[in-house]
Amino acid sequence: MAFLNFKSSNDTSSFMFKYSSISFRGYEVKREDESISLKFLNDYVIERARFTFNAIDCQMTFPKDAEGMGLIEDRDSLGEYGDVMLYTRDFKALLRIYKSTPSIIVAYAEIAEYLKLKDPPAVMKLLCPRTIESYLVFQSGPTAPELSKAFGYYSQVFAKLEPRSEPPEGLTYPPPSLELKDEYSQGAWVNPVLAKSLNVIGSNTPVHLILGKMGGRFFALIPLSSENYKCYIRGGEGYIVLKPRSFMKINRGGFVPFGIVGVGEDPYKLIRLLYECARSLTGLPVGFRWEKNFPEIFKKLGWCSWNAFLREINEERVLDTVKKM
């Protein structure tokens, strides 16, 4: 897949050995029968993770079915990294660990091109560090007018900054339910939800970003998508579930994205770095807000006909409203 900047790891070279634990540059990845864990300086970044591969004629679960675990060190446009992988001949689950501050870990899979795969072709389940004290979850789904104040209040409070607005009234956090009608429904707006645990995330809860506070540091997780797959964050069985979907009945192998995890002291810099990392790795044509010019028209008073009339709109109603302005 030429559009990716990932270095291919199809060749299990002399760097690959059947380790049960790998340590380098302060990181430690430990393999057990049912899961792997990742620590940095003895603190968990990923407490547990496991991977399931869904081929048409077979299913494999890593680390249980993996033949080995190994490490390849290299560098790309983002800097030096170590690829820790669980592997068989046809399947590889990888954690690309960048030797940087903040800590950045990219989770993805590589699958033999000749295989026919289901949708999703692979799933990653991970358990966030238990040391996280509270979460700020950005999800799209059920909403209320009072939530418009939440962005300027809870986002700032969570980052220990001065609130830009008053707290929303008449709401309890988290809301009683964040579930939509099915697993892949989407809401029109993204809402911030402050919670003590990730139990608020169910199998039908669309999540765009998870931010966790642990002492003086922050944990962040975003989904990673590509030209062929859109990855979804969902909840279930106490785990965070990362599901890359193509919505095709049969998929071919290649690069399969899961997500990007980061740990750092500044939540704003951390989140920005994660999205910059995602764009660099995939090469997708994404323009960030800070790179765009502010449109001149937005400096003036505006009015939205869709927001005013929804589907009950016609020329007469629009002209009548404009005349009354």
Tens digit of each residue's pLDDT (9 = 90 or more) over 239-267: 899 999 999 999 999 999 999 999 999 99
Q: Cis omega before residue 206 (within 30°)?
A: no
Q: Looking at residue 204, what is its pLDDT? A: 84
50 has pLDDT over 50: yes
Please name every residue paired with 242 in a beta bridge, in sequence order, or none if there are none. 124, 233
Q: Percent of the chain scored above 90 by pLDDT?
A: 49
Tens digit of each residue's pLDDT (9 = 90 or more) over 181-197: 787 777 777 888 888 88
Tens digit of each residue's pLDDT (9 = 90 or more) over 276-287: 999 888 888 888
Q: Looking at residue 274, what is its pLDDT? A: 94
Q: Looking at residue 155, what is its pLDDT? A: 67
**Please, which pLDDT band fits residue 2 given cuts at 50, 70 and 90?**
very low
Q: Distances from the Cα of 255 to the Cαs of 189, 303, 319, in angstroms? A: 30, 44, 52
199 has pLDDT over 90: no
3-class secondary structure, 299: helix
Calpha distance 193→211 (Å, rounded): 10
Query: In sequence order, which residues have a C-beta less than 8 Å from that of residue 244 and are 6 or more positions away?
Result: 120, 121, 122, 225, 226, 229, 230, 231, 232, 256, 257, 258
Query: In sequence order, which residues have a C-beta less than 8 Å from that of residue 148 and are 6 or more positions away?
Result: 168
Q: Looking at residue 163, what is its pLDDT? A: 84
Q: Which residue has the tokens 């418009």?
A: 148
Q: Which residue has the higher pLDDT, 93 or 148?
A: 93
Q: Distances from the Cα of 132 to the Cαs of 13, 100, 219, 318, in angstroms? A: 38, 21, 8, 51
Could you tell me how many residues make up the chain? 325
Q: What angle do CA 170, 172, 178 make, to 5 degrees?
A: 120
Range of lowest pLDDT (20-29, 73-82, 87-96, 231-240):
231-240
**Please, which pLDDT band fits residue 220 given cuts at 50, 70 and 90?**
very high
3-class secondary structure, 131: coil
Calpha distance 98→60 (Å, rounded): 27
Give the residue-averaged pLDDT of 205-227: 93
